[in-house]
Amino acid sequence: MVLSTLHTNSATGTVPRLLDMGAEPFLLVSTIEVIVAQRLVRKLIEPKEGYQLTQAEIDQLAGKADLVKVLACLKEEKIVPEDATWPTLTFYRPKPTPDGGEGYSGRRGILEVLTMSHALREMVIKNETAEALNAQARQEGMLTMFEDGLFKAAQGITSIEEVLRAVTE
């Protein structure tokens, strides 16, 4: 097992970065099993304020994430009821405390996990772009970091604002 840190903006951006550093494609496809990209978000603490998203906010999020996929994951993991919809989900934001606390404590990772499938390995050999790798990984079910952040925000672990801060830095 080899663990390494590499500066990229996404899991799929790792392969082109390694190629730019001189790694041979045949070595990458024979050795990489999984790539994890992460950003840290602050964790919400009690008390926190619940709210529902407006349609305008949902529309904004839909431009950045596959909301159907995120909601399906939430239902599959039984985090939300089967009849849940984006307008009915409760999200949370920090409620500042009288002692000056910001409503956050600790950190949690939002992740993008790329599992190297046969199709992705073939694409690496053909020197496909990060965008093409990303499209294939998404087709195979990979959640983006932003989508994983929405998944965690829907659980009340963090806020949507915190996710947006982390993925746009």
How many CA atoms are closer than 13 Å to the CA of 140, on its beta-carbon side? 16
Beta-carbon contacts of residue 12 (< 8 Å; ≥ 6 apart): 35, 114, 130, 131, 133, 134, 137
pTM over 0.85: yes
Q: What is the pLDDT along the chain (169 residues), one digit of tens a residue?
A: 566 778 888 999 999 999 999 999 999 999 999 999 999 999 999 989 999 999 999 999 999 999 999 999 999 999 999 999 999 999 999 987 777 778 999 999 999 999 999 999 999 999 999 999 999 999 999 999 999 999 999 999 999 999 999 999 7
Residues 6+ away with beta carbon under 8 Å from 82: 75
The CA–CA distances, whole Å, from 75 to 5, 20, 70, 84 equal: 33, 40, 9, 8
At 103 the three-state DSSP class reads: coil
Residue ranges and CATH numbers for the domains of the chain are 14-168 (3.40.50.300)
